[in-house]
Amino acid sequence: MPKFLHTADWQMGRAFSRFETEDGAALVEARFESIERIARLANEHRCDAILVAGDVFDAQTVADRTIRRVFNATKEFTGPWVMLPGNHDAALAESVWTRAKRLGAVPGNVHLALEPGTVNLEPQGLAILCAPLTQRNTYIDLTESLNTWETAEGLVRVGLAHGSVQGLLPDEIDSANPISPNRAETARLDYLALGDWHGTRQIDERTWYSGTPEPERFRNNDAGYALIVNVPGRGEPPDITAVETARYQWHQWREILAVESDLDQLLERLQALPEPSVVDLRLEGSVTLAGEEKLINALSVAEARFRSIRCDRSGLQLEPTDDDIAALKADGYVGEVIEDLRARQQDDNAEAARDALAILAGLLKDRKQEVSE
């Protein structure tokens, strides 16, 4: 009854340059931690092996230090690992994998599937049929050869591949590195472990994408898991359990604020998020001056609490109420300027007008406070 852990798309060496330096470094570190977490999970679930279905590395040019750290992070699980090259780290004649070998960084229990063929793990009862990418993109189904490969009687047949299952995934990725949707059936596989799609996804009862163990983009596709695969016996359907591996949750919200309750509900949802969150907000609609102040204060609190939060307010107009203007004592010429800036939020200089209105409101509020003191 073999049991193994299926993971993929680690993308080690990936940079997060769009984030602040401190946040980007933390996101990079979380990816190394995810490998260590995978090793611990394999031990906890008493797995016989760990299979990595491609894109261990984000590029062929990652630093030597990154290569060494990746393999160092595997040490807690002493059973066999099988690592498959994907499109980001294809098994070229000279590749990140050949560098890893030259560095002496690959532990003895890590099998690198750099050529098509079978990795026999007889003590574990597993035959791993590997279809590595030897170039970044191919337009033939490399898994077709699995149909003809024979394995020792009694060993569970597990396919390991990286690419796009044809006809089932979104059109934009249904092109290079194709994989037949019925490959598990035609190759008589007990399980087909796939990489390339970064979210956990079932294709059929024997074919799964594990997804990336640590999310790295704002896409709601069930990233942040590994799969524990338990095969009762040759020819029997596998039992699949998704286990959480992610340190950070990524949230991308696009919100339209029309009434005061919209803002209140948004801030309640924001408050409910856990601290290890990466948040990207884009706000449109309108907000009062009081609402703007409430929003700014909430974002300031969130910046200190979350790993990262970004908020695009360029589409959010400031709409001071009569009470807002009365509270600012913005009569006469100043009142006319406020009205002009409110109107200018409708033209091509909307963002500049909004910022100017916010600054003016802030100055008036500060002046009012000084007078009262």
Q: pLDDT tens digits for 209-265?
A: 999 999 998 877 889 999 999 999 888 999 999 999 999 999 999 999 988 899 999
> Tell me: the pLDDT tens digits for 89-102?
999 999 999 999 99
Class level of CATH domain 3-244? alpha beta
Whether 182 shows a pLDDT value over 80: the answer reads yes
Query: Given a cut of 70, is residue 284 above it in pLDDT?
Result: yes
- pLDDT of 33 reads 97
pLDDT the model gives residue 289: 79
Q: What percent of the chain has pLDDT over 70?
A: 84
DSSP letters of 185-250? HHTT-SEEEEESSSS-EEEETTEEE---SS--SS--S--SEEEEEE--STTSPPEEEEEE--S-EE
Distance in angstroms (rounded) separating the CA atoms of residues 338 and 357: 7
pLDDT over threshold 50, residue 358: yes
Q: Among 94-98, 293-297, 354-358, which is the least confidently predicted range?
A: 354-358
What mean pLDDT do residues 42-63 have? 97
Residues whose CB is less than 8 angstroms from the CB of residue 153 and which lie 6 or more positions away in sequence, other chains included: none
Predicted confidence (pLDDT) at residue 170 exceeds the cutoff of 70: no
Residues of the chain with CATH 3.60.21.10: 3-244
- Secondary structure of 31-42 as H, E, C letters: HHHHHHHHHHHH
Quick one: pLDDT at residue 155? 96
To 5 degrees, how large is the angle CA 215–CA 128–CA 8? Answer: 5
Least confident of 10-19, 68-77, 117-126, 212-221: 212-221
Strand, helix or coil for residue 328: helix
The answer, yes or no, to whether residue 197 has pLDDT greater than 70, is yes
- Report the chain's mean pLDDT, rounded to a whole number: 89
pLDDT above 80 for 60: yes
- Residue 343 tokens, joined: 């109107």
**pLDDT at residue 373 is higher than 50:** no
Q: What is the pLDDT of residue 332?
A: 53
Query: What is the crossing angle of helices 96-103 and 64-72, to 10°?
Result: 70
Which pLDDT does position 345 carry in this prediction?
63
Q: How confident is the model at residue 174 (pLDDT cuts 50, 70, 90)?
A: very low
The CA R_g of the chain, rounded to the nearest whole Å, is 27
Mean pLDDT of 157-168: 92
